[in-house]
Amino acid sequence: MPAARTRPVAEGLFRQEGGETRLIGSRCRGCGALYFPQAPSCRNPSCLDKRVEAELLPALGILYSYTVQAYRPPPLFWDDAWQPYAIGLVEIAEGLRVMGMLSGCPLDAIRIGMPVRLATRGLYEESGAMVETYIFVPAGQDEGLR
């Protein structure tokens, strides 16, 4: 049976290679500032070289903060199987913090400081393809997620 087609919820957000999901960020060639999502140029006002290059970000991070949402996500992240969910702020590299949905553990088991890793999850089907977003799951947990 052929694998189901998938596509990211937004182009240029993440890449999947060799069974691993990585966010695509930008790094300034001048000052080294790191951004996510990708930035068209460096936003550091004291930087003289505004050119940025795409950079794959680490797949592992530490949960810095989180909140539980009890309302349906906005249309870009619509989920056919919606229920209350957690959104976390995850420190992934050089002080860069990325917001994303948390999955893979009960809401009352989420703890600030827990190690997490990047994965993907299907949101809904559109034109014969599963639309996916990135999520964070407890590190070391394999639920069949990528």
Segment 68-127, tens digit of pLDDT: 999 887 776 777 777 899 999 999 988 899 999 999 999 999 999 999 999 998 888 888
Task: Check whether the bond before 37 is cis (ω within 30° of 0).
Answer: yes
Give the pLDDT score at 1: 40
* 22 in Cβ contact with 14 (< 8 Å): yes
The domain tally of the chain equals: 2
Question: C-alpha distances in angstroms, 119 versus 1, 47, 72, 77, 78?
Answer: 23, 33, 21, 15, 17
Give the pLDDT score at 140: 77
The first and second tokens of residue 141, run together, are 């947990």
Give the pLDDT score at 18: 81
Does 67 share its domain with 48?
Answer: no
The CATH number of the domain holding residue 102 is 2.40.50
| Segments forming the whole domain that contains residue 118 | 58-141
Residue 143 predicted with pLDDT over 60:
no
Segment 31-81, tens digit of pLDDT: 999 999 999 999 999 999 999 999 999 999 999 999 999 988 777 677 777
